[in-house]
């Protein structure tokens, strides 16, 4: 059976993003605070259209907005791991990275009753230890890398990358990779940051729909993952754009699934 899967994923960074960047004065913190307001709007939207989604939530967000995060879990959405402090693993040693995984999972288990099966790195940057640690901690998939746009693949461990030399690829592991892209992430298009952002919702809608239509027309089985941030996508005109996109995708055969369900389908499909 032909399957064109769509994962709507949300990185519920809230205040954690700005604290991790050292922007702790009232205005940047308030930008993160808006995420809690937007999360409630998004939950209503997804409920109205019966769309299952995946929320990658830093432990700090859970500890700050526990009732909102519990509402996400209670609505049946997947809770994925997004670090504890929203610090990129590439800047951490192995022990510090493991501590982020451990503390994040403790918070997730508290609100959902189970540990996360999926991981998304803060800032989409992994360390040489990340894949090993994720496998050690029982994760099934990661969603932080970009080697494809529609096809999940096995994450490698042990790549050797040196300037002036061809890469030496490491071994494929048992960890699935659900690829992502900045082009289908709301932050660079919409959020005012370092002089960028604030694009028209209509233009982004057209691009995001065409990414799906290309997948539908050229692949019998594939997965497209959109990445949203509540404090970005939750503005009124962007919520309206997202709702139009959901309706248009459904009319064009998209099957909405969580990231975990997409990987489960992909791993079990008959090739």
| Mean pLDDT for the stretch of residues 105-131 | 96
Per-residue pLDDT at 1: 53
Integer Cα distance of 73 and 17 in angstroms:
21
Question: What angle do helix axes 26-49 and 236-251 make, rounded to 10 degrees?
Answer: 30
116, 80 in Cβ contact below 8 A?
yes
For the residues of 229-240, what is the DSSP string, one character each? -HHHHTSHHHHH
Structural contact between residues 184 and 228, judged by C-beta atoms closer than 8 angstroms? no
Helix or strand or coil: residue 183? helix
What pLDDT is recorded for position 194? 77
Mean per-residue pLDDT, 61-81: 98
Please say whether the beta carbons of 18 and 24 come within 8 A: yes
Q: How confident is the model at residue 230 (pLDDT cuts 50, 70, 90)?
A: very high
pLDDT exceeds 60 at position 199: yes
**What pLDDT score does 270 carry?**
54
Residue 23's pLDDT is: 95
Mean pLDDT of the chain: 96
d(CA 268, CA 34): 39
Per the CB < 8 A criterion, the answer to whether 118 and 142 are in contact is yes
User: What's the average model confidence in pLDDT over 252-269?
Assistant: 95
Q: Are 137 and 97 in contact (CB under 8 A)?
A: no
Return d(Cα 149, Cα 94) in angstroms, integer.
29
Quote the number of domains for the chain.
1
Rounded to an integer, the average pLDDT of 254-267 is 97
The residue segments making up the domain with residue 55 are 3-268
What CATH number is attached to the domain comprising 148? 3.20.20.370
Q: What is the mean pLDDT of residues 74-92?
A: 96
- Cβ atoms of 53 and 77 within 8 Å: the answer is yes
The H helix count followed by the E strand count for the chain is 11, 9
Q: What is the pLDDT of residue 169?
A: 97
Mean local confidence (pLDDT), 87-91: 93
């Amino acid at each position: 059976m032909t399957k064109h899967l769509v994962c709507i994923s949300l990185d519920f960074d809230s205040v954690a993003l700005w604290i991790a960047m050292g922007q702790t004065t009232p205005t940047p913190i308030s930008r993160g605070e808006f995420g809690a307001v937007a999360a409630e709007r998004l939950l209503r939207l997804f409920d109205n259209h019966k769309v299952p989604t995946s929320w990658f939530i830093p432990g700090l967000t859970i500890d700050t907005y526990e009732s909102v995060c519990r509402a996400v879990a209670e609505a049946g959405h997947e809770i994925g791991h997004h670090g504890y402090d929203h610090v990129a693993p590439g800047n951490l040693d192995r022990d510090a990275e493991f501590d982020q995984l451990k503390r994040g999972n403790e918070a997730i288990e508290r609100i959902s009753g189970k540990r996360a099966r999926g991981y998304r790195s803060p800032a989409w940057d992994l360390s040489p230890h990340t894949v090993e640690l994720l496998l050690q901690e029982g994760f099934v998939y990661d969603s932080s890398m970009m080697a494809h746009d529609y096809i999940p693949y096995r994450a490698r461990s042990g790549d050797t990358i040196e300037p002036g030399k061809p890469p030496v690829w490491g071994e494929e592991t048992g960890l699935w990779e659900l690829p992502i892209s900045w082009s289908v992430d709301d932050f660079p298009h919409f959020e005012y940051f370092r002089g960028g952002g604030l694009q028209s919702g209509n233009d982004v809608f057209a691009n995001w729909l065409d990414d799906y239509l290309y997948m539908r027309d050229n692949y019998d089985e594939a997965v497209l993952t959109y990445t949203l941030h509540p404090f970005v996508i939750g503005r009124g005109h962007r919520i309206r754009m997202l709702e139009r996109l959901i309706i248009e995708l459904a009319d064009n055969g998209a099957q909405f699934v969580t990231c975990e369900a997409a990987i489960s389908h992909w791993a079990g499909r008959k090739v």
